Amino acid sequence: MQANKISITRNYLLYVLLAVALFFSYRTIFRYGCSNLSNTFICQLTLFFSILVYITIRPSKQFLVSYIPITLLYLLIPVWEFMCGHKIAAHEFLASFLLGSFFYFSVLYLKLILGKYIKTKVGKFFTYLCDFVYLCFFFYAFSFYLYYLANDGILQGDVILAIAQTNLAEAITYIDSTFSEGKIILLSILIIIAFTLGGVLACAFHRVHSCNNELSRHDSIIRTILGIFIVFFMIIMTQGTLVHTAKGYDCQAKKVLAFSVYMTKTYGDFVKNRTDITKSIKFSDNFFMDEDKGVYVLVIGESANRDHLSLYGYKYDTTPLLNRRIKEKEQGYRFIWFRNAYSSFTHTIQSVTNALTDHNQYNGQDLSRSVSIIDIANKAGFDTYWISNQSSDSMIVTPITSISMSAGSVKFVSESKKGGKIYDLDILDNLPAELRTDRDSFIVIHLMGSHTKYRDRYPPEFSRFSNEQNIINEYDNSIYYTDYVLDNFFRYFSQKTNLKFFGYISDHGADPTQMGNDHNTTHFVFDMVRIPFIISFSEKYAQSHQNIVETLAKRVNGYFTNDLIFDLLLSVMGLSASNYYDSSFDLSSENYSLNQENAKTLLGEKKISEDHR
Ligand SMILES: [Zn+2]
């Protein structure tokens, strides 16, 4: 009786310890960019769990059936990285295996606790929930295999993010434009296998029970083997050499998860903080706005690689209208086009978010507490407009949706046009019919540009480069159409409004030869970040803002990344008195500090100077 009481108390103590350890280890695991120390911490915790399992449960057949396959799946994830040509250190296998073990034991323990102490229906429901979580961990590991077989690449955090930010229609277009029929069949078979295997393993996992019966000989042998195994790893782990000298003791499976969780949380906070942040916008005392009210237009392109614009020297005449406007020195307007513009990332959400907020690759500003150019324009009394040909719905709320919603007027062309194909020129019908002349207007236009499938982006009459059916021709046609669209927008605004500024910059570039992966970081080439950047000022504006226009005209060969559009626009729109303006990021300022050496892309991970072209 006494002994029984002690064992119950011991069990409770163990479970409390476990709960605390679980809490802290999950917090650590989901923090992006963990140091070596925290990784070591996770590994040791995993072993801690393993030992506890060893002590308190009998490693039954179900335990082995549900444990070994899932950890094997995790263990082998680095193999795919190796297949992609990455250098893999032995510790990555270890870290990956331990991550799998960590997931397994933590969810197993949770289940045992719930099953043992909550004997109600609710308790039962939670144990089923644990089975489901186990299944999720299994599918997570499996997705690395699926991704490699589908894409010849290793799954990365921004891919998960891109998937979460898409919708069903876009996902279908992506699958359709990326995979051949054979591959779709192969992937479907793999998914069926995954579900079957996952189901079998989850059933085994469901039947794992804690067991206090006396052990049979057979069981004690397995327990001893497990024990030796755990002690063996414990020794390796606590050996400082392996842990502390291994640079970035980490594995891809953890990095992807940590990144996705971190970004989703940051985006959530960004949306949540909008009202608060808007209140923090202030203007210094010398702030005054131009008497002459007019219109500022920013057109954000999609997947346009500047090397495919004839303006930038491409062999085919893809931008005849832009060329004419620029080279023939359009009356009344001054055009400036920048030769060395890059995007800050290869995906839309990150690039556009960086472009429109004070958060950039260089200033370390916390994105979740960032302010957008639309917030500031609103505060300064501009009428703000957002007109987009991209979709408004996605699985998670993105900062772009949140930024667009803060505009005074928001229009998504896909929602207003019912039936028929939608092209970028349909934006024209959605432009504001009348703009107030006693207020400034700031209009952001978001194009579909050269998004895959390219041939869906232009009407058939724009198939100019089609002597042979190939993907590059289709891409060039989409650029050719964008040229036409931009020309129409420019004409509309310059004829109908007091247009002061018109800018076009792409969200990122593309490598059309990599069908379906044309702007995927997994297959990074500089084509994915080389973008066109063209601006134009009215003669009247240029006369009254000589400093800005002349400084920009001198900088056509300067290095620029599109996350710095924010500061440039503040200056151009007369809002540099804002507390969020930083002249060192403003291309039109004498203090502008970016050059070939310090310019970066891939969210600060890659130097522009590595682009040897
Ligand atoms: Zn994009």
Q: Tell me the pLDDT tens digit for each residue of 20-64.
A: 655 655 555 555 444 444 555 565 566 666 656 655 555 678 888
507 CA distance to ligand 1 centroid (A)?
5
How many C-beta neighbours within 10 Å does residue 188 have? Answer: 10
508 CA distance to ligand 1 centroid (A)?
6
330 CA distance to ligand 1 centroid (A)?
30
Average pLDDT over residues 238-260: 59
613 CA distance to ligand 1 centroid (A)?
23
Q: Which residue has the higher pLDDT, 154 or 596?
A: 596
448 CA distance to ligand 1 centroid (A)?
8
Question: For residue 196, what pLDDT is reported?
Answer: 96
Question: Cα separation of 446 and 426, whole Å?
Answer: 12
451 CA distance to ligand 1 centroid (A)?
7
Question: For residue 247, what pLDDT is reported?
Answer: 39
Handedness of CA 77, 82, 87, 91 (dihedral sign): positive
Report residue 420's pLDDT band, with 50, 70 and 90 as the boundaries.
confident
17 CA distance to ligand 1 centroid (A)?
47
Q: Which residue has the higher pLDDT, 594 or 396?
A: 594
Average pLDDT over residues 439-456: 94
> Could you please report the per-residue DSSP string of 546-571?
HHHHHHHHHTTTSEEEGGGHHHHHHH
124 CA distance to ligand 1 centroid (A)?
46
Bond preceding residue 540 cis, omega within 30 of 0: no
Question: For residue 8, what pLDDT is reported?
Answer: 58
Question: For residue 98, what pLDDT is reported?
Answer: 76
Question: For residue 50, what pLDDT is reported?
Answer: 62
217 CA distance to ligand 1 centroid (A)?
62
Question: Cα separation of 372 and 359, whole Å?
Answer: 9
For the cut 90, the answer to whether the pLDDT of residue 265 exceeds it is no
Average pLDDT of the chain, as a whole number: 84
pLDDT in tens, 205-227: 998 865 444 555 555 555 555 55
348 CA distance to ligand 1 centroid (A)?
4
463 CA distance to ligand 1 centroid (A)?
22
216 CA distance to ligand 1 centroid (A)?
61
Report how far apart the first and last C-alpha atoms of the chain are (Å, whole number). 81
302 CA distance to ligand 1 centroid (A)?
5
439 CA distance to ligand 1 centroid (A)?
32
Q: Best-predicted range by mean pLDDT among 242-246, 282-286, 529-533? A: 529-533
Question: Cα separation of 331 and 186, whole Å?
Answer: 58
For the cut 50, the answer to whether the pLDDT of residue 273 exceeds it is yes
Packed helices 121-151 and 90-117: angle between N→C axes, nearest 10 degrees: 160
Question: For residue 143, what pLDDT is reported?
Answer: 93
Report residue 312's pLDDT band, with 50, 70 and 90 as the boundaries.
very high
Q: Which residue has the higher pLDDT, 571 or 248?
A: 571
Question: For residue 165, what pLDDT is reported?
Answer: 75
* Per-residue three-class SS string for 335-382: EEECCEEECCCCCHHHHHHHHHECCCCCCCCCHHHCCEHHHHHHHCCC
Average pLDDT over residues 396-411: 91
pLDDT in tens, 529-556: 999 999 999 999 999 999 999 999 999 9
376 CA distance to ligand 1 centroid (A)?
24
Site of tokens 């480069």: 465
174 CA distance to ligand 1 centroid (A)?
13
Q: Domains in the chain, start-ordered, CATH in brackets?
A: 60-265 (no CATH), 293-322+341-538+569-610 (3.40.720.10)
3-state DSSP assignment of residue 385: strand
173 CA distance to ligand 1 centroid (A)?
14
pLDDT in tens, 166-192: 777 777 777 777 788 888 898 899 999
Report residue 391's pLDDT band, with 50, 70 and 90 as the boundaries.
confident
Question: Cα separation of 158 and 257, whole Å?
Answer: 10
372 CA distance to ligand 1 centroid (A)?
19
Question: For residue 55, what pLDDT is reported?
Answer: 55
479 CA distance to ligand 1 centroid (A)?
14
122 CA distance to ligand 1 centroid (A)?
45
Do 611 and 602 meet the contact criterion of CB atoms below 8 Å apart? Answer: no
3-state DSSP assignment of residue 99: helix
**Cβ partners under 8 Å of residue 381, min gap 6:** 289, 439, 440
527 CA distance to ligand 1 centroid (A)?
13
Handedness of CA 476, 482, 487, 490 (dihedral sign): negative
Q: Which residue has the higher pLDDT, 7 or 190?
A: 190
551 CA distance to ligand 1 centroid (A)?
29
3-state DSSP assignment of residue 441: strand
Question: For residue 154, what pLDDT is reported?
Answer: 87
For the cut 90, the answer to whether the pLDDT of residue 2 exceeds it is no
Q: Which residue has the higher pLDDT, 608 or 105?
A: 608
pTM for the predicted model, two decimal places: 0.83
215 CA distance to ligand 1 centroid (A)?
60
154 CA distance to ligand 1 centroid (A)?
21
Tokens linked to 359 = 């958060």
